Amino acid sequence: MIGVIGGSGVYEIDGVVIKENKRISTPFGAPSDSYRIGEISGIEVAFLPRHGSPHHIAPHKINYRANIRGFKELGAERIISVNAVGGINPKLKPGSIVILNQIIDMTEGRASTFYDEEEIVHVDFTEPYCPELRAAILTAGKNAGIALKEDAAYICVNGPRLETAAEIRAFSLLGADVVGMTGMPEASLARELAICFSGIGVVTNYAAGISSNRLTTTEVVKTMAESAEAVKTLLERTFVSIPHARNCMCKDALANAKM
Ligand code: HPA
């Protein structure tokens, strides 16, 4: 089964016939919503809107542990996440779609590990996103004629406020291409459960100070809606491009990681 986490503006996937709406309770509490279980081209897919549906959970209030644990309980071995992001790299115009390949985590105060009780685990996070899933998304983009920027570094801020222009200048110097509020701890929690995880970023706006416009949530939602068709096509094509068996390091994330 493949999991999909939808961000702002992505509350369903066209083409997936939903067979079941499954509510899951986890030892970490309730996920953002029920999981929509469906099938596309014979592949089982579980979809979760991370902000709930309708959109009502702020980025810093999302129960990331429950969301990822819920996917594990469903048997998902892979998760593709979709994120609205601000473009820091001036080459990334609103409407650009990027495949995330690195993360800088600036979040604080989020429950960010499954291992804070007896067991002490340090998972390797050198490559935070699954290379096999990233390759599948890239292939899907090529097949569908959707232009993708391949290697975007994502900086995750706590929000919910947007950034200052100086923060964005600093993030640019640190090497970030895009900024968002929800990529962490989603990615590291998936790694802690040995689930392959990938991120598709939809650039919804120039980040603060990159253009002279004031940032608005309206702009984010509007650009996301305009990109929704391309994202859905990309997802559909990605599902069929993913190899059946996993050949990446994610599945062995817990080997030699426990104290
Ligand atoms: N900053 C942070 N998060 C975002 C942005 C942004 O500019 N755009 C979409 N999500």
- For position 11, what pLDDT does the model report? 67
pLDDT in tens, 200-251: 999 999 999 998 888 888 888 889 888 988 999 999 999 999 999 999 999 9
- For position 221, what pLDDT does the model report? 86
User: What atom in ligand 1 is closest to the CA of residue 181?
Assistant: 3
Please state, in angstroms and rounded to a whole number, the distance separating the CA atoms of residues 137 and 239: 9
Average pLDDT in the 162-170 region? 97
CA 86–ligand 1 middle distance (angstroms): 4
Q: Torsion angle, CA of 198/158/97/196, rounded to 10 degrees?
A: 0
CA 162–ligand 1 middle distance (angstroms): 7
Residue 84 Cβ < 6 Å to ligand 1 = yes
| Selection from 186, 184, 194 nearest residue 250 by Cα | 194
CA 41–ligand 1 middle distance (angstroms): 33
Domain range summary for the chain, segments of one domain joined by +: 2-252
Residue 204 Cβ < 6 Å to ligand 1 = yes
Average pLDDT in the 143-148 region? 94
pLDDT in tens, 81-99: 999 999 999 999 999 999 9
CA 221–ligand 1 middle distance (angstroms): 11
- The pair of three-digit structure tokens given for residue 112, joined into one six-digit string: 């960010």
Please state, in angstroms and rounded to a whole number, the distance separating the CA atoms of residues 218 and 176: 24
Please say if the pLDDT value at position 10 is more than 90: no
Please state, in angstroms and rounded to a whole number, the distance separating the CA atoms of residues 161 and 154: 17
Please say if the pLDDT value at position 147 is more than 70: yes
CATH of domain 2-252: 3.40.50.1580
- For position 216, what pLDDT does the model report? 87
Average pLDDT in the 173-198 region? 98
Residue 176 Cβ < 6 Å to ligand 1 = no
Q: What is the mean pLDDT of the chain?
A: 94
Please state, in angstroms and rounded to a whole number, the distance separating the CA atoms of residues 66 and 11: 18
CA 259–ligand 1 middle distance (angstroms): 37
At 136, which helix (H) or strand (E)?
A: helix 131-144
Please state, in angstroms and rounded to a whole number, the distance separating the CA atoms of residues 208 and 87: 9
- The pair of three-digit structure tokens given for residue 234, joined into one six-digit string: 């990309």
User: Looking up tokens 């960010």, which residue turns up?
Assistant: 112
Average pLDDT in the 25-54 region? 93
Please say if the pLDDT value at position 16 is more than 80: no
- The pair of three-digit structure tokens given for residue 87, joined into one six-digit string: 């473009």
Average pLDDT in the 57-80 region? 97
User: Looking up tokens 């579980």, which residue turns up?
Assistant: 46
pLDDT in tens, 89-128: 999 999 999 999 999 999 999 999 999 988 899 999 999 9
From atom 2 of ligand 1, which residue's Cα is the shortest distance away? Answer: 180
Residue 203 Cβ < 6 Å to ligand 1 = no
Q: At what angle do helices 217-241 and 131-144 cross, to 10 degrees?
A: 100
Please say if the pLDDT value at position 13 is more than 80: no
Q: Which of 214, 219, 220, 226 to mutate to test the pocket of ligand 1 (most atoms within 8 A of CB)?
A: 220
* 3-state secondary structure at position 155: strand
Of the chain, the percentage scoring pLDDT greater than 70 comes to 98
From atom 8 of ligand 1, which residue's Cα is the shortest distance away? Answer: 86
Residue 59 Cβ < 6 Å to ligand 1 = no
From atom 7 of ligand 1, which residue's Cα is the shortest distance away? Answer: 86
Please say if the pLDDT value at position 34 is more than 90: yes
Question: pTM for this structure?
Answer: 0.95
User: What atom in ligand 1 is closest to the CA of residue 87?
Assistant: 7
Please say if the pLDDT value at position 152 is more than 70: yes
> 196: which strand partners?
78
- For position 9, what pLDDT does the model report? 67
